[in-house]
Amino acid sequence: MDIRSEAWREALAATAQTMGLAPYPVQVETVPDDVMAALVASRVPNRFSHWVLGRELEQWKAQPLPMARVVYSCPVYLLIRNELTGLRSLAVYAEALGHADFYRHNRWLASSDNPLQRFRLHARTLQSYEEAYGEQAVAELIRHAWTIRDYPGLLVLTAENGPGLQAWERHVLLLLAEELEAMELFARTKLVNDGWATYCWVQLLRRCPGLERDSVEAARLEAEVLARRTPAAVGYRMFAELVLTEGWEKAREVRGQLNDADFAAAYLSDALVRHFYSAKAGEEAATREVLVEELRTLGRPRLDFWEDQGLLRMVHQFTGRELNMAELRMVLASIQALWRQPVVFTTTVDHQRISLRYERGRLVETTYH
């Protein structure tokens, strides 16, 4: 009993079909640990050498690696480590079928092109720029850009309006922004995606012919997933409640239409808010509202930014949580290195609005309003 058995993969795929799932094909590949570490750190396969993420790679090499990773493409790639065997490996394959079904039918992802193919094309473009302008120049540009990876729109604004950028630098920033925008779609559907995939693998292991004798082990694997508050556990419980109250077809409809914020707003019940988020009776609605807002913003500070006669202005929409000033100073230095003209950032510190002006990579003026 193993994921490497074509017969078992076909049995799970056939069971998925009886449930009404219609996933993209899933291709299984075994990868060495260094490739898995690079994938986890860079989030994209075959991409790491062109991104300046060495610190994150070393951190992942020092931590326990996941047994598998699912890569969105058509076909979907399931990358596994040699150590993955037995019923656990079949659970991973069943989960990949759930992800592949989600990728094919969720409206937020189904309309996008194949990101893996796009990333490969971008990798070749970056390599050509390294050969033409030097690896260090490309690496330095990407290092600065990576500090604002949570704001692809700021990269686009910089690429289109930043004074002093060469044409190839503008192109690199636009490529990175395009990739980050694609990756953001996954961040905005993680709860519903992981929840759906988990619900699917649990059902597939319960229903697949030949696995009846392993029901105790399957239940143990299920309990492992539900033991911690993760998107997979929360989303699984949400789908389980939805199937129980409104039926399987409604659950399939939801997996095709909603992102995380809308999913939580509509289907995160009071009972689950109390269970997973320790809300007291009567506090469920307020707690859910906070959670939904975090899902909408991805937990990122809200920023407005625009070009003002060569100057880059950024304004932090203060909502009660101050920014980490040490981190902000490093980020602003990188933004100014990209923009190459003065950058002014306005935020709130100690209940007072202040503006920080950066020039030549350093803070030159602080204004209190």
State the burial class of residue 248 (Cβ atoms within 10 Å of its Cβ: 0-12, 13-18, 19+).
middle
Instruction: Please give the pLDDT value at position 267.
Output: 98
d(CA 131, CA 323): 39
Instruction: Please give the pLDDT value at position 62.
Output: 55
**What pTM was estimated for this model as a whole?**
0.88
Q: Do 349 and 322 form a contact (C-beta atoms < 8 A)?
A: yes
- One-letter amino acid for residue 36 of the chain: M
Q: Do 96 and 70 form a contact (C-beta atoms < 8 A)?
A: yes
What residue spans define the domains of the chain? 6-106+189-237, 115-187, 238-297, 303-368
Cis ω on the peptide bond leading into residue 75 (within 30° of 0)?
Answer: yes
Instruction: Please give the pLDDT value at position 42.
Output: 59
d(CA 114, CA 97): 17
Which tokens hold the place of 184?
A: 């953001």
Instruction: Please give the pLDDT value at position 199.
Output: 97
d(CA 165, CA 99): 40
State the 10-residue block means of pLDDT for the chain, 369 residues long: 92 97 95 79 49 46 78 89 92 96 91 73 91 94 93 96 95 93 91 97 94 86 91 97 97 97 98 94 96 94 95 94 93 95 95 94 88
- One-letter amino acid for residue 142 of the chain: I
Q: Could you tell me if residue 336 is left (phi over 0), alpha (psi between -120 and 50 degrees) or otherwise beta?
A: alpha
